[in-house]
A and B are shown apart, each in its own frame.
Chain A
Amino acid sequence: MARVSIGLTVNGQAVSAEVEPRMTLADFLRDELGLTGTKLGCEHGVCGACTVLIDGAAVRSCLMLAVQAEGADVLTIEGLSHNGLHPVQEAYWEHHGLQCGFCTPGMVLTAYAFLQERPDPSDEEIREALAGNLCRCTGYQNIVVAVRAAAEKLAGAR
């Protein structure tokens, strides 16, 4: 199968590559660029572990082919902060919003995108926003607490 040339931006860096059409964006980020912060859980769009931002919007990188990211601006967990932890990451850390950490990059990026759109959410809205991300060990309670704390941190920083 003919490889396809792609050009995109990943965490602010221009990237060009030749990829097999069947390579998912998640595999491209992990295996070609070495950005293994993006996790693969279910690989069919159910668990949310592979969530990244494309042009500012949260998407499942397992449900996107690398070739579809032509011209896109991709943000992964590695690019969220270049200088210590991002306030959303700090909030997860401080409020025990993670245990094993596998779902965390997807959880953090989902929360980050959500809080940009809705800086002062209710708990109900936080729960709905996280409904597409599965966690199998931390428990959702502290994750909701962490997202609420992150909203307060971000509001304080503005």
Chain B
Amino acid sequence: MKPPPFDYIRPRGLDEALAILATHGPDARPLAGGQSLIPLLNLRLARPSLLVDLAFIPGLADVQAENGTVVLGAMVRQRTVERDALIAQRVPLLAEATRLVGHPPIRNRGTIGGSLAHADPSAEYPAIALALDAELVVRSASRERVVPARDFFVDLFTTALAPGELLTAVRIPVPPPGAGWAIQEIARRHGDFALAGAAVLLRQAGDGTCEHAAIALFGVATRPLRATAAEHALTGQPLTAESIREAAALAVEAIDEPLSDVHGSAAYRQRMAGAVVRRALEEASRRAGT
């Protein structure tokens, strides 16, 4: 057996889970789909004293639509996100991004909440949450709070979650009809972690100029980033090859702490970031209607 020893508890309700997390503090780790946590256990990079399995808690795996928002429970499996008709229709960027998350056997177990809370800088979901201005619903034994995605991802594998807190849902505003969207990434093989990726949402005004641009980068820095300077430069401009090229160059400048490892140097990732932003903007502008 590879993992270090730990205790395991299977709460049957959310309040029970939150009480356990409150009592045990940082030594207890919530277990969602396990597709990030169990590798860390097998490699002994994580040594929790207690795993709190969320899979048997009713109500954490629902997909709901309410007032222009799609709400996904934290335990919604990635495979469900990929296939859900409501998500495909209202938030196609999320469905498309899911096809890039690992492989089907990973997505059969992995959850949207687990991926967001793990905050791998190369993962797709955190960048999608940023690009779509999602809100993360966080509960503890004593309170509930809602954290905007742009305040949630703090650093490498680090979020705004405090010990005792649990991500229970993500609320995604449905983009207006006609919004253009795209996700582009560069990875060694389909399903590998991105060496550089970009998720984009665009809205076009009646005169063909860009009314709103959201550009999120992943796989290039210690956390997913919004390329705000590039977004501002594009807003009010016609979406042309020229304006897109300029925005892509500006987006690269948003990378403040570039990742650099055996899979890709900082210089390589920065160059690829420019390429994926350009491709994503081109694809999104083709999809955008007025």
Interface residues of A (CB under 8 A from B): 1-2, 4, 20-24, 27, 43-45, 48, 51, 54, 57-60, 62-65, 67-68, 70, 110, 113-114, 128-129, 131-132
Contacts and interface: CB of A to CB of B under 8 A. Distances in A.
B104 A58 contact: yes
Given A1-B6, A57-B105, A60-B106, 6 more contacts: A22-B3, A24-B3, A65-B31, A68-B34, A110-B104, A131-B191
A43 B56 CA distance: 25
Contacts of B229: none
B57 to A, nearest CB: 13
A27 to B, nearest CB: 6
B34 A65 contact: yes
Contacts of B43: 44
Contacts of B6: 1, 21-22
A129 B39 contact: no
B106 A132 contact: yes
Contact of B104 (A4, A22, A67, A132): A132
Contacts of B155: none
Contact of A62 (B4, B5, B42): B42
Contacts of A21: 5-8, 51
Nearest to A23: B1
Given A24-B2, A27-B1, A63 B39 contact: yes
A59 to B, nearest CB: 5
Contact of A128 (B31, B109, B190): B190
Contacts of B38: 24, 45, 62-65
Contacts of B39: 44-45, 63
A48 B55 contact: no
Contacts of B191: 131-132
Nearest to B39: A44
Contacts of B4: 22
B53 A58 contact: no
A65 B8 contact: yes
A48 B104 CA distance: 11
Nearest to B189: A131
8 contacts: A21-B5, A43-B2, A44-B42, A57-B105, A60-B35, A65-B51, A68-B53, A113-B104
Given A21-B8, A63-B39, A132 B1 contact: no
Interface in B1-46: 1-8, 10, 31, 34-35, 38-39, 41-43
A28 B57 CA distance: 24
Contacts of B104: 58, 110, 113-114, 129, 132
